[in-house]
Structure 1
Amino acid sequence: MSHHAHADETEEHDLGLSHDLPKIMARRGLLGLLGGVGAAAALTACGSGGTTSTTADSSASTSSGPGGNPPPAGGGMGGDSSVEVAEGEIPEETAGPYPGDGSNGPNVLSESGVVRSDITSSFGDATGVAAGIPATVKLKVYDLDGDEVTPLAGAAIYLWHCDREGRYSMYDEAIAEENYLRGVQEADANGELTFTTIFPACYSGRWPHMHFEVYESLAKATSGDNKLRTSQLALPEDVCNDVYATEGYEQSVTNLEQLSLDSDGIFSDGYSLQLAKVTGSVTDGYTVTLNVPV
């Protein structure tokens, strides 16, 4: 598959949300409302010199803050596990054409070794390592049921995204034998889990993003059974500009200039619950944080 074919196919599949129009319309009323898990506060406080700390542009969407998840007082990822009620679940999105979950071609979820925190390298018989600016992804999964908010201890997330060149392992011809930038993690008692990866590229037609699927348990994740949610995480523009100014991301600069969150086929209907909080720097790497209410 050529890189051009990859971009074209991505646009065709990722922009195909008209098939899910009723679901999208149902969620529009949720996207401007506040959500709350104590994840962003601790990360904001730990910045150092040269640190980038992003905020959402409220004029660009109905967003009320980064990831739509303003932290409760005293809350923090890895510390106080208290949460505020989030008024809206993480939106359901297309998995796109390169999920690697068996729904469209290869299935990485059934392979031994897919349960791992560091997804930078391939596993099994593959030996490739994805180059790029380091990124740590911290997610917090919780159940939202009316006024009840419960961390989903033991839930699992399958995370995947493109590499520095905008390619997806297992699908792009050049890296079809690799399975890097894909992995599964189990949430702890507070519903929290962490991945170590690299900052993805911006490829033609899509805003920089990461894909993820939420499962009730690790067993269900590794069998691809009964997903609770499929969604996508958006990355803030200021951080993308900093990363894409570094060696290896040159094509991303051109691609990003042609896009905005409001024109992206996935995020254009609202992204307040999907825009991640990002702190860090090109030198030290970045921490990407998102709360995932389901």
Structure 2
Amino acid sequence: MVSKTRIARRQFISTTLALGAALRFPASAQAAENTSNSALCRLSAEQEVGPYYIEDALLRSDITEGRPGIPLLLNIAIVDERRCSPLANAIIDVWQCDALGIYSGFTKQSALPQGLPPGAPNFEPPPGAGDRHGEPPPPPPGRPSDRLTFLRGVQRADAQGNVVFQTIFPGFYPGRTNHIHFKVRVAGNAGDKSLSGEHVSHIGQIFFPEELTVELMRNRPYRDHRIQRTTLSDDGVFVDQQGAKSIARVRAFDHSAVANGLRAQIVAVVDPDAKPSPARRSPGAFRG
């Protein structure tokens, strides 16, 4: 008898090949190389890293760990802005919340009551803060509280600058719309599996079309999330940090029922030697 795990793996591989055919990056790279002033070679917008990044994520393509949600194959294609060509062998970190807004490593802190914004890194509230005059509890600290690793992973880009992650469509939490974080690091020795000591050249967030997201949130387990969702236009990171330039191209697996699964692509144009400046945030805002 063939196990369900083997079947699921086989389906993922075949679907990934289909994704490569449908959203393959080399055509975009070739167009960029053939057009010196192409928009494909303009640096991508940067967004803040947020408080939930954890170093030393697992080297893997499937990051779901059985977390429920609408399947999502995420293709991140990296372009070298200086040469207007694919950036091979770059290291790509991704991390995101699950369908109910929970980040691994921060499961207690990110399970927030309704109306409480996510916290800033290294925020340490004074004793007794947030319990007077009906004030909300303090935001969570930026230090991990558990060793869970769901919806986190790292890959090296192939010769065409591509990585593909098997994940789920992200949920949301108070103050933030649906999004996925990613970080681009310039690779050193391709044989070095430690992924340590690499130069960070880009920090970004991936957003999704609002109309599509509204439709997806009507499905379980997303609709079991009993808080009001923050829309793109109300999300401070999206509005203040050029999020409109970071909306993924998305299509359904079977071109009909989006709830059956999605494939998405984002192209990130980076300067491998650059050091990202901290993305600006509105005063007093807590973001994740």
Identify whether the pair has TM-score above 0.5, normalized to the shorter chain: yes
**Inter-partner Cα distance in structure 1 for 2:228 and 2:268:** 28
Whether 1:288 and 2:288 are equivalent positions in the alignment is: no
Per the alignment, do residues 88 and 263 of structure 1 end up closer, same or farther by CA in structure 2, a change over 3 Å counting? Answer: farther
SS state at 2:77 partner: strand
Which 4+ residue blocks in structure 1 deviate beyond 4 angstroms? 218-221, 251-254
Counterpart for residue 158 of structure 2: 188
Equivalent position to 2:84, from 149, 153, 158: 149
Deviation at 1:286, TM superposition (A): 0.5
Query: Residue type of the partner of 2:267?
Result: N
Equivalent position to 1:134, from 48, 52, 71: 71
Deviation at 1:252, TM superposition (A): 5.1
Deviation at 1:251, TM superposition (A): 5.1
**Inter-partner Cα distance in structure 2 for 1:221 and 1:291:** 26
Deviation at 1:87, TM superposition (A): 5.2
Query: Residue type of the partner of 1:193?
Result: V
**Inter-partner Cα distance in structure 2 for 1:207 and 1:220:** 34
TM-score (ref. length: structure 2):
0.64
Per the alignment, do residues 271 and 78 of structure 1 end up closer, same or farther by CA in structure 2, a change over 3 Å counting? Answer: closer
Matched residue pairs, number?
202
**Inter-partner Cα distance in structure 1 for 2:24 and 2:46:** 24
**Inter-partner Cα distance in structure 2 for 1:253 and 1:135:** 23
SS state at 1:289 partner: strand
The answer to whether the 8 Å contact 1:210/1:233 transfers is: yes
Per the alignment, do residues 263 and 163 of structure 1 end up closer, same or farther by CA in structure 2, a change over 3 Å counting? Answer: same
Unaligned runs of 5+ in 1: 1-41, 47-75, 102-107, 122-128
SS state at 1:157 partner: strand
Whether 1:267 and 2:226 are equivalent positions in the alignment is: no
Deviation at 1:119, TM superposition (A): 0.4
**Inter-partner Cα distance in structure 2 for 1:262 and 1:221:** 39
| Per-residue CA distance 1:36-93 (angstroms, 9 max, x = gap) | xxxxxx97x96xxxxxxxxxxxxxxxxxxxxxxxxxxxxx515535132325312222
**Inter-partner Cα distance in structure 2 for 1:167 and 1:221:** 27
| Per-residue CA distance 1:225-257 (angstroms, 9 max, x = gap) | 32111110111112211221111112558532x
Query: Residue type of the partner of 1:99?
Result: Y
**Inter-partner Cα distance in structure 1 for 2:165 and 2:259:** 19
Equivalent position to 1:225, from 176, 198, 201: 198
**Inter-partner Cα distance in structure 2 for 1:224 and 1:164:** 32
Counterpart for residue 50 of structure 1: none
Equivalent position to 1:249, from 186, 202, 222: 222
Counterpart for residue 279 of structure 1: 251
**Inter-partner Cα distance in structure 2 for 1:83 and 1:156:** 23
**Inter-partner Cα distance in structure 2 for 1:290 and 1:215:** 16
Deviation at 1:177, TM superposition (A): 3.4
Unaligned runs of 5+ in 2: 1-17, 33-37, 112-144, 271-288
SS state at 1:267 partner: helix
**Inter-partner Cα distance in structure 2 for 1:220 and 1:227:** 17
Structure possessing the higher radius of gyration over alpha carbons: 2
Counterpart for residue 131 of structure 2: none
SS state at 1:139 partner: strand
Question: Counterparts of 1:84-103 in structure 2 under 5 Å?
Answer: 84=32, 85=38, 86=40, 88-101=42-55
SS state at 2:228 partner: helix
The percent of aligned pairs where both chains have the same amino acid is 33
Deviation at 1:288, TM superposition (A): 1.3
Question: Counterparts of 1:41-190 in structure 2 under 5 Å?
Answer: 77=24, 80=27, 81-84=29-32, 85=38, 86=40, 88-101=42-55, 108-109=56-57, 114-121=58-65, 129-145=66-82, 148-173=83-108, 176-190=146-160
Counterpart for residue 179 of structure 2: 209
TM-score (ref. length: structure 1):
0.62
Per the alignment, do residues 224 and 167 of structure 1 end up closer, same or farther by CA in structure 2, a change over 3 Å counting? Answer: farther
> RMSD in angstroms over aligned alpha carbons?
2.5
